Amino acid sequence: MAVRTCPTCLTVLSPARVVAYSDSLACPGCKSRLTVWDGSRLIAAFAGILAGVVAWQLSSAGVEAALAWTIPVLYSFLAFGGVSALVLMFTADLRLRPEEPAAAPMAAESAHSAPGGAGSHH
């Protein structure tokens, strides 16, 4: 199956839409509820971590100022975010999102909170 295609109707979704709405996608063709496969997310996260490590190594060499430790942190954060989003744009495999179970109604907790059914408010 091609990247970023709906498994139901084979409509191709835009890369920006897949990255921005990866948990709440809806197919523009058949209106199916979609999500990005966890394997694609792992690949993107691993690539982002590698990019962050490389950015840390490149930016932490030879700087000796009072707040020099902030530059590698900033660059590695930006590298992780940018690279992981770009990799997810090109490797996102879409799957149908499983149906969520209906929420059970909440029982009245006040009557069952104390033994004997009576509250112990003194």
Extents of the domains making up the chain: 15-98
Q: Facing residues of 94 across strands?
A: 36
Best CA proximity match to 39, nearest among 104, 92, 78, 110 = 92
What pLDDT shows up at residue 52? 95
The pTM of the full predicted model, rounded to 2 decimals, is 0.71
Per-residue pLDDT of the chain (122 residues; tens, 9 = 90+): 568 888 888 888 888 888 888 888 888 888 888 888 889 999 999 999 999 999 999 988 776 777 778 888 999 999 999 999 999 999 888 888 887 776 767 765 555 555 655 555 66
Are 8 and 31 within 8 A, CB to CB?
Answer: no
Q: Facing residues of 33 across strands?
A: 26
Are 37 and 88 within 8 A, CB to CB?
Answer: no
What pLDDT shows up at residue 24? 83
